[in-house]
Amino acid sequence: MSRKTSERGQLDLFHALPGEFAVRDAQDLMSYPFFSLSKSHRTRPIEFSAGNIEIRVEAVADHGMATIWDADILIWAASQIVEARDAGLRTSRLMAATPYQILTFIRRGTSARDYHRLKAALDRLQSTTVCTSIRQPAEGRRHRFSWINEWTERTDSGGRPDGIELIVPDWFYRAVLDDALILTIDRAYFDLTGGLDRWLYRLVRKHGGRQKAGWRFEFQHLHVKSGSLSPYKRFAFELRDIIRRQPLPGYRLALEIEARGRRLLAFEPCGQAVDGFVPSGTPIVVPSGTGPSCYREPVSGSSISKDNRIRGRNLDSNKESNSCCAAPAGDKPARGRSISLETDPRIDRPERPLGTSRRATT
């Protein structure tokens, strides 16, 4: 690694570290709806409000909103910064790397097409703006930023491409340097192909941690937290399909249905929650890596929990309730936009693909 003083203010140029190391993610990005869950072009803003947390994410028509796949670049940046800091090296918001370093870390191809996709992702991250009350010292104060302040292609003396420079925002950089706001995630996360799969893994990893008894969220609450444009019925269908497929590395999912009909997603660690080898969905018996070992086979249909345990109420790792709507006695419902025209299951509307607006379908 090398470092030099940049001409851009007081920022130092931080060069990416070589090699492969732990994958880190910022907890704030794992907990709240900051990214589009679809690869389709989205310009409709994300709006989320619960308690004293408010988020508004806006996109421009030219590039569209940054997607959860684009967020892999921020995971790469966070991993780089934490690794360098732990090694005693000086870090900076201004980072330099080759496309190859970024693409191989996030498990993408390295062809010319992948390079152009990387540049498109950088454009979306730079043009997407976020306004949030998270980590603001005064009530009513908001922080507005883009996921990347600016980025540029570097060239050598002959004018040939020589890498990429980018500047991450101060809001993100401060979170990365705070150990309490960073979690290690399974590298198999990059192999998840579905946007909802990726979002759910990050949420489960953040809220569930390694709690043996697991946790649970009401489907309606998850719909609100996702920021998805998918109607509730479509969203619930996709959640049930994820439960059937069991794609999340290190976690077992189950559907719980209460006597009054509330549907909840329950999840608990199965084996090693981070860097564990849990190839769920294979046609063979799968060792989860636990001791004593936990052998299981995939089953058809949704996995409905039949035990009598009362799972935790998400109090120590999640200050929000399990439910955004019909909370049982003792639960405090999340305030704010808990039910909207998009999330009310009583309003029957034609289903539409994730990431498309109602105007586009009429």
pLDDT digit string (tens) for 195-235?
A: 999 999 999 999 876 666 778 899 999 999 999 999 999 99
Inform me whether the pLDDT recorded for 168 exceeds 60. Answer: yes
Query: 54 pairs with which residues across the strands?
Result: 49
Three-class SS state of 222? helix
Query: Hey, what amino acid is at 344?
Result: D
Report the percent of the chain where pLDDT is more than 70.
71
Q: Give pTM, 2 decimals.
A: 0.76
**Mean pLDDT within 36-56:** 95
Where do we find the tokens 């390295």?
110
Query: What pLDDT was estimated at residue 271?
Result: 66
Q: Is 184 exposed, middle or buried (0-12, 13-18, 19+ CB in 10 A)?
A: middle
Whether 82 shows a pLDDT value over 90: the answer reads: yes
Q: How far is CA 350 from CA 172, 230, 233, 238, 353, in A?
A: 38, 10, 10, 16, 10
Specify which residues 268 forms β-bridges with: 252
d(Cα 82, Cα 72) in Å, to the nearest integer? Answer: 15
Asked if the peptide bond before residue 292 counts as cis, ω within 30 degrees of 0, the response is: yes
Cα–Cα distance list, 243 to 146, 149, 225 (Å): 34, 38, 18
Between the alpha carbon of residue 10 and those of residues 16, 121, 130, 169, 239, the distances in Å are 19, 27, 24, 14, 47
Residues 6+ apart with CB under 8 A from 87: 17
Tell me the pLDDT tens digit for each residue of 140-151.
789 999 999 999
Structure-model confidence comparison of residues 273 and 124, the more confident one: 124
Would you tell me how many other CB atoms lie within 10 Å of the CB of residue 186? 22
pLDDT over 60 (residue 183)? yes
Place of tokens 């549907």: 263
> Mean pLDDT, the chain, as a whole number?
78
> Does residue 27 surpass a pLDDT of 80?
yes
